[in-house]
Chains A and B, each alone.
Chain A
Amino acid sequence: MGLAYKLPDMSIEATRNVASLLRLVIIFLIAGAAISSRLFAVVRHESIIHEFDPWFNFRATKVLAKDGYYRFWNWFDPTAWYPLGRAAGGTVYPGLMVTSGLIHDFLKSIHIPVDIRNICVLLAPAFSGMTAWATYMFTATMKDDAAGLLAAAFIGIAPGYISRSVAGSYDNEAIAIFLLMMTFYLWIKAMKEGSAMWGTACALFYFYMVAAWGGYVFITNMIPLHVFVLILMGRYNAKLYVAYSSWYAVGTLASMQVPFVGFLPVRTSEHMAALGVFGLLQLVAFVELVRSHVPSQQFKLLLRGFIVVIFASAFGALVALTYGGYVAPWAGRFYSLWDTGYAKKHIPIIASVSEHQPPAWPAFFFDLEMLIFLFPAGVYLLFRELRDEHVFVIIYSVMASYFASVMVRLMLTLTPVVCVTAAITISSLLETYLDPKEPDTSEASVQELTEDSIRLRPSKNKKSGGKSQQQLGVPANSPAPSNVHNFKGVSESAGVFGLDTRLLVSLYTLILLLVFVLHCTFVTSTAYSSPSVVLASRNPDGSQHIIDDFREAYYWLRQNTPVDSKVMSWWDYGYQIAGMADRPTLVDNNTWNNTHIATVGKAMSSPEDKAYPILKKHDVDYVLIIFGGLLGFSGDDINKYLWMIRIAQGVWPNEIREADFFTPQGQYKIDDGATPTMKNSLMFKMSYYRFHELFGGRPGMDRVRGSPTVSTPPTLDILDEAFTSENWIVRIYQVKKDDPLGRDIPWANSFNAGKRRKKLPPATAPKGKKTSKKA
C-alpha cells in the first residue's frame, strides 16, 4: 500500500479547518466570478434595462416602490391594451418586483439610498451568486463537497444561464433559477431525512418560486415524478411519505395565494400529477401500516391489488373530469411542448416567438461547452450508485434534455442539471487520479498473480510456439499489464500506478476546465451582453458606433405628444413604449388577448381605406413601426410582417389572406414584383414612405431584404409622417383627423392638391404639408 506522492502532515482538525476555510473562500470567489462576468453590458454601455419583458417588470417595480405593496397588489394599468386596460396586479408573477422592492426598502433603511433602476439592473447578477451557492448545496448532497464546488463554479459562469441573467436583464428567470435549485435542494434534504420541517421549508421556497416564475409547473411535476418512480422501483419508505405530504399540503395551498395562479392547482391538468401522487402516497402509506399489523402473504397481495385498483379508478376519474370540463386540459403553451407541431398550426402567436423554436446542436455546445459531453457520463455514474436522490437527478436530466431540445428557451432549466452531473463526472475523475494511494502491489500478490498466469499461459504460448519467452518472462517477474488488470478485477479494487498517469490526466482535465472558462467569458462577452435597446457597431478604425434610434424615437414621443395619445405598434414594442415613452399602447408583450393583437395585425396589413376605420375606432393617434431597410437591422417589422398577417388571418380568414402577399411564384417580394395587396398594405407604405428621397428619387436599396424597392414611391392618405429617427429605424406616423367638410380623406387630399376626384393615380398624389422632422 504505497503512496504516489506525499501528503502534508496535518492533524485531522487542522485538515478540517483548512478545508472549510478553503470552501468558504472558493464559494466567495465563485460568487465574485459569477457577478463580475455578468457586468459586460453595464461596463460597456450603461446601466439600463435590456430587451422587452424586463421593461414591464421595471415599470411594475417602480409602481411598487412609489405607491407601496398594497397599491401594487391592486394595480390596474389603464394605459396598456388601450380600450381594455390590464389588471396588472392580478396578472403578474409578483415575486421579482417584491424582491427588488424589499431590497430597495432594506437599503433605504440602512441609509444607502439606491435608485430602484440600479437594483433592478443588478438583481440578476446578485442572484446568480446565490444560485452558485444553492447548486453547491444540491450537488454536495448528491456526491460530496468537491463535486459541489465544481458544480457551483460551472453554474457561476455557464453561458446557458448567463444568457438569461446578465446585468440589465430584469426578468423572472433572474431569481427563478436560484429558487429552482433551492427548492430542489430542500426537497432532497426533506426526502433524505424524512423531516416535515424541511418539507415545509421546501414548500415555502416553492411558494416563492410560484410567485416568481411560470416555470414553477416544472417543479410541480418533477417532484411527484420522482416520488412515483421511487414507488415503482419499490423504494417507498416512510420518509418519502413525510416529505412529500408536507410539501404538497403546504405548498399547494401556498401557491394558491398568488393571485395569478389562483385555483389553477385544483383545476388544471398541469397540476394533477402532484395531486394523483399525493393520493397514491396516502394509499401506499395506509397499506404499509396495515401490512405491519397483518403480515400475511395473501393479505399483502390483496392490498397490492387494492392499490392498483384505486389508482386506476382515480386516474379514470381524472380523465373523465377532464373530458367533462371540470378540470381544464393542458394550456397551449405547455401542450406545444408535447405536440411540437401544435403551436404552428393553431396558435401562431406562440410559434411566432423566436425563443419557442427547437435549438440546433451547436446551440448546446455554444451554451454549455464541455459540460454537454460530461453530462451523460455524470448520469451514468449516478446510475451506478443509484441512491434515492440520484433518481431525482436522472429524471431531471431526462426531462430537461427533452424540453430543452423542443424549445431554445428551456435551455435555462437544463443548465443546472448539466452543471451538477458534469461536476460529478469531473470530480469522480479527479478523485481517482489525484488519490495518492497506490493499488496493492506487494510481492506476495504479484507472486500469486504470476503463478496464476503461468498456469494459464502454457496453452497460449504453445500455440505461439515461444518457449523461450515463457522461461524469460517468469523469472523476470513482470507479468503483462493486461493480465494484472484482469486479475485485479477479481481480487481487489482497481487503482492508478505512478505519478506520470496522474499528472497527465489531471493536467488534461485542468486544461479542459481552463478552456471552459475562456469559452464562457468569450460567449458572454460577445453574444449575451448586448442591450437590445442600443445597437452597437464598429467603425473601420475599431471605435464603437452607437445607434440609439429606439430611445431617440421613444423620447420624442414622450416629449412631443399629449400624455394620453395612444400609440399603435406591433406587440413586441408595447412594453418598451410604455416604459420609455410612457404612452398608452394598444397591445403589448403580455399576449393575453389574441383578438386584440389580430386587430392590430389587420390594421397593419389592410389597405388604407380599410385600416382607417380600425385606427379611428381604437382612438389611435400615432402608429409606430420599426424599419431596418436603411441600416440593415434585420429584426424590423417587414420581416415580422408575415406573422402579423398570419395572426390576423386566424381571426379574419376572409379579409386577410396570407397567399395574397406572395407573388404567384410564392415569393415574398418588396420590389416591383410585389403583389398589389402587398404594395397597398399600410405596413408596406409606412415602411417605404419617402424611402426614395434618400436615393435621389430612384428606387431605394433595402439592405435587409437585399433588393430594390418599388419604383413608384408609396403615398399615404390617412397618415402624416410625424417622426423618423436618425437611421430610419423607428418611424412614427400621426393619424389624420377627419376632414372638417366630411369628405373622405383621400378625396380631401387630392382636392387640396388641385386634382380632380376621378383621377387618383397613387404616384402623383400629393405629400401635403409635411411637418416631418428628419435628422
Chain B
Amino acid sequence: MSSKAPPRTSSSSNKQNPLQTLLEAYSQDTPLKLKMIDAFLVFLILSGVMQFAYAILVTSFPFNSFIAGFASTVGQFVLAASLRIQANPENGKTFTKISPERAFGDFLFSSVILHFFVVNFLG
C-alpha cells in the first residue's frame, strides 16, 4: 500500500481537503476484516462516551460500577485496537513473532481476563 500511496496523495492533497483524502485512502486501502474491527471500535467509543456522559450528567453513584463499565469499554477498545494493529498486514514486519491467528488468541485471552475483573468489580 505504501508503495502506491505517495503518488496519489501528493497529487491530490494540494487540491482536496485533507480529511477527504484520509477518508478516501482509508476506504480504499483497508481490508474488510480491519474495517470490521474498526466498526467494533466505533461502537465501543460510542458506548464509552454514553457511559461517561451519564456519569457526568446524571450520577456516578455506584462509582465501582461506573469504573467497571467504563474500564470494560476502554479495555476492550485497546485490546481490539491491539488486535487491529497486529492483524494489519502492513505491520507484518514489526510483529515477527505474532501471526494474525496468534493475535486473535491473545485478544481472546486478554479479553477473558479483563472481563473477569470487570464482573468482579461491578459489585
Q: Which residues of A are at the interface with B, using a C-beta cutoff of 8 A? A: 193-197, 199-200, 203-204, 237-239, 241-242, 245-246, 248-250, 252-254, 256-257, 263, 266, 282, 285, 290, 292-296, 298-299, 302
Please, could you name 29 A-B residue pairs with CB atoms under 8 Å apart, sorted by A? Answer: A194-B95, A196-B83, A196-B109, A196-B110, A197-B105, A197-B106, A197-B109, A200-B106, A200-B113, A203-B113, A238-B95, A239-B94, A241-B85, A248-B78, A249-B75, A257-B120, A263-B64, A263-B67, A266-B67, A282-B78, A292-B2, A292-B90, A293-B5, A293-B26, A293-B29, A294-B9, A294-B21, A294-B25, A295-B5
Tell me the B92-111 residues at the A interface (CB within 8 Å): 94-95, 97-98, 102-103, 105-107, 109-110
A474 to chain B, nearest CB (A): 54
- A163 to B103 alpha-carbon distance, docked (Å): 43
Residues of B within 8 A of A253 (CB): 67-68, 71, 75, 114, 117-118, 121
A257 touches B117 (CB 8 A): yes
Most buried by B among A199, A245, A294: A294
- Additional A-B contact list (5), CB under 8 Å, known A196-B86, A296-B9: A196-B110, A200-B113, A245-B79, A246-B82, A250-B75
A242 touches B86 (CB 8 A): yes
A195 touches B106 (CB 8 A): yes
Q: How many residues of B contact A (CB 8 A)?
A: 46
A246 touches B117 (CB 8 A): no
B75 to chain A, nearest CB (A): 4
Of all chain A residues, which has the CB nearest B5?
Answer: A295
Most buried by B among A199, A253, A298: A253
B31 touches A (CB below 8 Å): no
Residues of B within 8 A of A194 (CB): 86, 94-95, 98
A553 to chain B, nearest CB (A): 45
- A293 to B27 alpha-carbon distance, docked (Å): 10
Query: Which of B10, B91, B117, B118 makes the CB contact (< 8 A) with A238?
Result: B91
A293 touches B95 (CB 8 A): no
A207 to chain B, nearest CB (A): 8
- A282 to B85 alpha-carbon distance, docked (Å): 12
Residues of A within 8 A of B102 (CB): 195
- A149 to B81 alpha-carbon distance, docked (Å): 38
B82 touches A295 (CB 8 A): no
The list of the 9 closest CB pairs from A to B, nearest first, reads A249-B75, A245-B78, A196-B106, A293-B25, A197-B106, A242-B82, A200-B110, A253-B71, A238-B85
Residues of A within 8 A of B90 (CB): 292
B22 touches A (CB below 8 Å): yes
B59 touches A (CB below 8 Å): no
Q: Which residues of B are at the interface with A, using a C-beta cutoff of 8 A? A: 1-2, 5-6, 9-10, 13, 18, 21-22, 25-26, 29, 63-64, 67-68, 71, 74-75, 78-79, 81-83, 85-86, 90-91, 94-95, 97-98, 102-103, 105-107, 109-110, 113-114, 117-118, 120-121
Residues of A within 8 A of B13 (CB): 294, 296, 298-299
- A256 to B79 alpha-carbon distance, docked (Å): 19
Of all chain B residues, which has the CB nearest A197?
Answer: B106
- A204 to B83 alpha-carbon distance, docked (Å): 20
B107 touches A294 (CB 8 A): no
Residues of A within 8 A of B103 (CB): 196
A763 to chain B, nearest CB (A): 64
B73 to chain A, nearest CB (A): 10
Query: Which of A193, A250, A282, A298 makes the CB contact (< 8 A) with B110?
Result: A250
Most buried by A among B68, B74, B90: B74
B86 touches A250 (CB 8 A): no
Most buried by B among A200, A204, A237, A302: A200
Query: Which of B79, B91, B94, B117 makes the CB contact (< 8 A) with A196?
Result: B79
Residues of A within 8 A of B106 (CB): 195-197, 200
A195 touches B97 (CB 8 A): yes
Residues of B within 8 A of A242 (CB): 82, 85-86
Residues of A within 8 A of B98 (CB): 193-195
- A537 to B97 alpha-carbon distance, docked (Å): 60
B120 to chain A, nearest CB (A): 6
B79 touches A285 (CB 8 A): no
B117 touches A254 (CB 8 A): yes
Most buried by A among B64, B83, B95: B95
Query: Which of A196, A252, A285 makes the CB contact (< 8 A) with B71?
Result: A252
B85 touches A295 (CB 8 A): no
B114 touches A249 (CB 8 A): yes
Residues of B within 8 A of A239 (CB): 94-95
Residues of A within 8 A of B120 (CB): 257
Of all chain B residues, which has the CB nearest A298?
Answer: B13
B91 touches A250 (CB 8 A): no
